[in-house]
Amino acid sequence: MSLACRAGHVKCVQALLDGGANPVERSGPRGMTPLMHAACKAQSDVVEKLLKNPEVSADVEAKDDAGMSALLHAAAAGCPGTYQQIARLWTGGENDTYDERDAKGRTPLALAARFGGKRMVEYVIEKAGVIACGEFDDQNESPLFAAIKGGFVGEDDAAELIFRAYPVHERKLEVMEIKSNEGMTMLLWAAAHGRDAACEWLVKNGANLLATDKKGRLPRQTAEQHGKFDTSALLSQLAKKEWLRL
């Protein structure tokens, strides 16, 4: 059943259901239901078929071993259509879905920003409002941080959409400079992981090149410490440009 759901084989799913397959049976290392398997691959036709089953619709808010519901899987898959299908059956309606969180405290917007990309991010911001951009996960990372991790830093991509909508938190000030529980700003994280495009985007949008990690290292030094020497050189060049501009 799980393979048919992930592959989008509607007729096969129907045949299995007709043959007595359990529509809410859990499988895989994370204990996912057929609906979760379909949602994580954005298989909207299969999702529609499954949701017509009374057992599935009654179990729609179930979570896997990582605390991910089918709804959150749809957000991570970047498919607003699949998300809407599941949200219609949510207790309290779609408006109540945007506070849903996985075991790491990530919201639909955070998961969309990390894995789903621009289209899903646009959808959630439109429906939930910009306040969703100010929700932090259990690591004190914002949806913007998630978009940086996801690499969605192109023109008008997820990071830019979130940053334009919500550059300043009402209590924590500049979102870009808020540190995670590991003591990392977004720029420090990008430097440590050799994410050159993210570093350029962050600096262009005002990230602090003098921010330090828990050991007092600048982004350039953090990159060096993690063996990202090209990134370290890039950050040095970016710093020179910024200071010359000043």
Q: What's the CA gap between 227 and 97, in Å, rounded?
A: 41
Per-residue pLDDT reduced to its tens digit, 107-152: 999 999 999 889 999 999 999 999 999 999 999 999 999 999 999 9
- Residue 246 confidence class, pLDDT cut points 50, 70, 90: very low
- Residue 74 confidence class, pLDDT cut points 50, 70, 90: very high
Q: What's the CA gap between 15 and 132, in Å, rounded?
A: 41
Per-residue pLDDT reduced to its tens digit, 151-174: 999 999 999 999 999 888 766 668
Please say whether the beta carbons of 68 and 31 come within 8 A: no
Q: What's the CA gap between 189 and 183, in Å, rounded?
A: 9
Tally of CA atoms within 13 A in the half-sphere of 117 that contains its CB: 6
CA torsion sign for 63, 110, 108, 130 is positive
- 220: Cβ–Cβ under 8 A, 6 or more apart, which residues? 191, 209, 232, 235, 236, 239
Q: What's the CA gap between 80 and 34, in Å, rounded?
A: 19
Nearest to 39 by CA among 22, 25, 51, 53: 51
Please say whether the beta carbons of 178 and 208 come within 8 A: no
| Residue 114, token pair as written in the block | 């990390």
pTM over 0.75? The answer is yes
Nearest to 125 by CA among 115, 137, 135: 135
Domains and CATH numbers, the chain: 1-103 (1.25.40.20), 105-178 (1.25.40.20), 180-246 (1.25.40.20)
